[in-house]
Amino acid sequence: MTAGTGLLGLLDRVTALDGELVVHSGPGAGTSVHAELPLRVQRCGCTSST
């Protein structure tokens, strides 16, 4: 992956994170970009100080 590749670079990054990317565009309607990424929770074994 290289920097400056626009939507293809964004798609590469989203795919690498097991996500989905949807782009909608139409004449005079603008463009919307929706990325959906899985939430990964890691337990660090830390203790809370509160």
Domain that includes residue 29, residue range: 6-36
Residue 21 in contact with residue 28, Cβ under 8 Å?
no
- pLDDT given at position 50: 58
pLDDT tens track, the chain, 50 positions? 555 678 999 999 999 999 999 999 999 999 999 999 998 888 877 776 65
**So what's the pLDDT on residue 31?**
92
Within-domain flag for 20: yes
Res 21: pLDDT = 96
* Number of domain units in the chain: 1
Give domain status of residue 48, yes or no. Answer: no
Contacts of 26-35 spanning 24+ positions with Cβ under 8 A: 33/7, 35/10
